[in-house]
Chains A and B, each alone.
Chain A
Amino acid sequence: MDTLYTLFIDPLTKIYFLKALAGGSIVAVVCAVTGCLVILQRMAFLGDALSHAMIAGVGAGYLFMKLVFGVEAAAGAMLVGSLISAFITVFMIGFVAKVSRIKEDASIGIMYTGVFAAGVVLVSVFGKYIHIDLMHFIMGDILGISDFDMVVSAIVAAAVLTVIIMFFRYFKITSFDPVMAASIGIPVLLFKYVFTGCVSLIVVSAVSMVGVILVVGLLITPAATAYLLTDRLEKMMALAALFGFTSILGGLYLSVWLNSAGGGAVMLFATLQFLTVLVFAPRYGLLADWQRRRNMVPQTVIEDIIASMYKSAKPVSEADIAQYVQTKPKMMKNAMKSLYNEGLISGSDIYELTDKGRTEAMRLKKAHRVWETYLHYMGVPDSELHAKAHVLEHYNDFESIDYIYEKMGYPETDPHGAKIPPVYSDGSFCLTAVYGFSDKDVEIVSVETDKELEVGDVVRITHADDGWAADKDGKRIELTDAEVESMTVRFLS
């Protein structure tokens, strides 16, 4: 108990820790929310640029106050200075990219190093007057956060969050599709400037805590972590905020335990958090991806299994199938599992095709025979037809098959004289093609008759010696062969 107390509760009793936690959380949450839009607009590099460019403004602000008013280290002036230098940098980046053939990424590289260098030179030339600890600037000092910084961050965070929430819709659409946004009259450029302004404000307010280099991490990492977990921007922002907070919380504990620099510990924790999610994320994670790959059964195996089950026309075991389909036992097991899950087969140990499975088998058969017919058309020798069609039948996007079938003028048989099953891409089929449909309810997809049958009716159709009959709501309707031939139906799913 004592160790737990020292590890977790003790730090919470220290004022400096609580201050760092409060200040850091404010900054991290707003950074993370904004960061979502930053990474979606592929502007990560810009955050880096802004944070570096600030140093010139900090130096200039310091110098100005010192020389004009004789005030030492005026925090306000340095803040205003860094904002100005950030805006100048953004403007110059845009300007260079616009008027020359230099693209934006290169332009960012030129401008921010330039402004950063100007800052470094300024600070070293006027070293006599300016007492800035460059190290503090680069590393930040989250554990020694000043009240002034805290107030500034809080104001900035409130302002930026308000803007983003109020204009959320517009930020979303201008990030996603600026051309469309402009076409409905949204001032895309204005939103771009507003957003860049927000990012500058955040970066400037966060630098004093985590430093120039790490601020980019606070902007990008929690947002990227959230990006791996969700497919909605709203949720991504909420999750990013949470990860921003946990980064600060975890990082601060880490820094206390290891007695390390606060900023470094925070970013280390954020990065570890990201890596964990990268591995374990349910959908976009490495582990999920690996699992998917491992359980993946080639479609060709699945389809060969269906085809062989259809051919045998009686319940079969895995061993029976293995005689016709060459595959590893493990793969076979996965294949049967996925067939079962998709409702194509029923049973356990001894399997049987369901109605859905049988329709699927018919469609495969059709694909095979359509391809054979097509290849025959193209002048492929008869001896090669079957082998080639067997490969091609697995390319059986059914709409495409129907398309080819239509282009060939609906041939009734393939080159070997076998009937091409009348099944279609929407899952419907002609009654004469599928056996075992009687005693089951089917939905009529198309029909040509003057009797009381319509598309969409659910009927039960029987075939006896005296002909066909449909049972509709308990009423018996006799059908001629021609009517049955013209009719397509679908199993109720």
Chain B
Amino acid sequence: MVSSDYAIQVRNLTVSYGPKPALLDVSFMIQKGELVGIIGPNGAGKSTLMKAMLGFVKRDIGDVLVFGKPVEQCRGAIAYVPQRGTVDWDFPVTVADVAMMGRYGHLKWWSNPSKKDAEIVDKCLEMVRMSDFKKRQIGQLSGGQQQRVFMARALAQGAQILLLDEPFAGVDAATESAILDVLAEAKKAGITLVVVHHDLATASEYFDKLLLVKQRLYAAGPPSLVFRQELLSEVYEGRLKVFTDLLKG
């Protein structure tokens, strides 16, 4: 049954590079407007799952549906915010340039961005409070500001789903709260947010729902359901003690 009540549906997804599957029989559904965290240890297939949701990887079996339609037919419906480490911060582009890239998917190849595109970009930069930095080269921003520029680009795409790859990796406390503000604002606008996250300590605080992944989907649901001793110890083998503390606290 195809239903578009869900922003993303993943059904029996199996992806493999070489003999060992990176993801095995993963199924879950994400409702519209939810703020969902994907957690799991290193090499658990979090980024593969992310690529699958963008429709980049060849699936062995299974479907990925975006608003009820196969992901391949939904280019641009999901906006992607890259990990900070993967961006060339010396690239000669300004904040406004990067945000305008969000509009590229809507432009015919022969036409230049219109006044309306510029207005949308302005609005999105306003939303992440980066309007004062339009002419700055992206390398001359602080970590939090850089993250916000890419959020603005994703918003400018007009996508209803945002996919963020480790936005909280290596940022300070103040930046972290600034990013959370933007996430909250996007959520208020009815946008579905899917965030790859590595820090278990904050995961239950930040997200409505968590997906615990390690090759398979171990748990999906509200943090109270996912943060169970036996589940975490199974997924994060040797490092149990930390989590016992975490569960208590």
Q: Could you tell me which A residues sit within 8 Å of B by CB distance?
A: 40, 166-167, 169-170, 172-173, 175-177, 179-186, 227, 230-233, 235-236, 397, 399-400, 403
With A183-B78, A183-B79 known to touch, is A233 a contact of B93 (CB < 8 Å)? yes
> B92 touching A230 by the CB < 8 A rule?
yes
With A40-B88, A400-B174 known to touch, is A231 a contact of B137 (CB < 8 Å)? yes
Residues of chain B within 8 A of A179, CB atoms compared: 54, 56, 80, 82, 86
Q: Whose C-beta in chain A lies nearest to the C-beta of B157?
A: A184
**B172-188 contacts to A (CB < 8 Å):** 172-174, 177-178
CB distance from A182 to the nearest CB of B (A): 6
Residues of chain B within 8 A of A227, CB atoms compared: 92
CB distance from B207 to the nearest CB of A (A): 21
Residues of chain B within 8 A of A400, CB atoms compared: 172-174
Most interface-central of B153, B157, B172, B174 (chain A CB within 10 A): B174
A173 vs B156: C-alpha distance when bound (angstroms): 15
Q: Which of B56, B87, B88, B109 contacts A170 (CB 8 A)?
A: B109
> A236 touching B92 by the CB < 8 A rule?
yes
CB distance from B86 to the nearest CB of A (A): 8
**B129-175 contacts to A (CB < 8 Å):** 137, 153, 157, 172-174
In this assembly, does B247 line the interface, its C-beta being within 8 Å of a C-beta of chain A? no
In this assembly, does B76 line the interface, its C-beta being within 8 Å of a C-beta of chain A? yes
> A172 touching B82 by the CB < 8 A rule?
no
> B76 touching A232 by the CB < 8 A rule?
no
With A232-B92, A233-B92, A233-B93 known to touch, is A184 a contact of B104 (CB < 8 Å)? yes
CB distance from B90 to the nearest CB of A (A): 8
A431 vs B90: C-alpha distance when bound (angstroms): 44
> B76 touching A184 by the CB < 8 A rule?
yes
Residues of chain A within 8 A of B76, CB atoms compared: 183-185
> A232 touching B177 by the CB < 8 A rule?
no
In this assembly, does B201 line the interface, its C-beta being within 8 Å of a C-beta of chain A? no
CB distance from A204 to the nearest CB of B (A): 27
Per DSSP, are chain A's interface residues mostly helix, strand or loop, or mixed? helix
CB distance from B244 to the nearest CB of A (A): 24
Question: Residues 53-86 of chain B: 1 if any A CB is under 8 Å from the residue's CB, otherwise 0?
Answer: 0101000000000000000000110111010001
Residues of chain B within 8 A of A184, CB atoms compared: 75-76, 104-105, 157
> A173 touching B80 by the CB < 8 A rule?
no
CB distance from B175 to the nearest CB of A (A): 8
CB distance from B246 to the nearest CB of A (A): 19
Residues of chain A within 8 A of B177, CB atoms compared: 399, 403
CB distance from A365 to the nearest CB of B (A): 20
> B105 touching A177 by the CB < 8 A rule?
no
With A169-B107, A184-B76 known to touch, is A232 a contact of B97 (CB < 8 Å)? yes
> A180 touching B174 by the CB < 8 A rule?
no
A235 vs B135: C-alpha distance when bound (angstroms): 14
* Extra contacts besides A177-B87, A231-B137, A235-B92 (10): CB < 8 Å: A170-B109, A172-B93, A180-B82, A181-B104, A183-B54, A185-B76, A230-B92, A231-B92, A232-B92, A400-B172
A-B contact pairs, 15 of them (CB 8 A): A40-B92, A170-B104, A172-B93, A176-B91, A179-B56, A179-B80, A180-B153, A184-B75, A185-B75, A185-B76, A231-B94, A232-B93, A232-B94, A232-B97, A403-B174
Q: Which of B80, B93, B97 contacts A180 (CB 8 A)?
A: B80
Residues of chain B within 8 A of A186, CB atoms compared: 104-105
Residues of chain A within 8 A of B118, CB atoms compared: none
Q: Whose C-beta in chain B lies nearest to the C-beta of A407?
A: B173
A364 vs B91: C-alpha distance when bound (angstroms): 36
CB distance from A128 to the nearest CB of B (A): 50
CB distance from A240 to the nearest CB of B (A): 11
> A169 touching B104 by the CB < 8 A rule?
yes
Residues of chain B within 8 A of A177, CB atoms compared: 82, 87, 101
CB distance from B101 to the nearest CB of A (A): 5
Most interface-central of A183, A232, A399 (chain B CB within 10 A): A183
Q: Whose C-beta in chain B lies nearest to the C-beta of A180?
A: B80
> A176 touching B93 by the CB < 8 A rule?
yes
CB distance from B151 to the nearest CB of A (A): 13
> B104 touching A173 by the CB < 8 A rule?
yes
Listed from nearest, the 3 A-B pairs whose CB atoms lie closest are A184-B105, A185-B75, A399-B174
Q: Whose C-beta in chain A lies nearest to the C-beta of B98?
A: A176
CB distance from A241 to the nearest CB of B (A): 15
Residues of chain A within 8 A of B173, CB atoms compared: 400, 403
**B89-115 contacts to A (CB < 8 Å):** 91-94, 97-98, 101, 104-105, 107, 109-110
Residues of chain B within 8 A of A170, CB atoms compared: 104, 109
Residues of chain B within 8 A of A233, CB atoms compared: 91-93, 97
> A183 touching B80 by the CB < 8 A rule?
yes
A473 vs B173: C-alpha distance when bound (angstroms): 41
Residues of chain B within 8 A of A181, CB atoms compared: 104
A488 vs B79: C-alpha distance when bound (angstroms): 39
A255 vs B246: C-alpha distance when bound (angstroms): 73
A186 vs B107: C-alpha distance when bound (angstroms): 11
A483 vs B97: C-alpha distance when bound (angstroms): 46
Residues of chain A within 8 A of B79, CB atoms compared: 183
Residues of chain A within 8 A of B87, CB atoms compared: 177
CB distance from A85 to the nearest CB of B (A): 31
Q: Which of A185, A232, A403 contacts B105 (CB 8 A)?
A: A185
CB distance from A183 to the nearest CB of B (A): 5
Residues of chain A within 8 A of B98, CB atoms compared: 176
Q: Whose C-beta in chain A lies nearest to the C-beta of B74?
A: A185
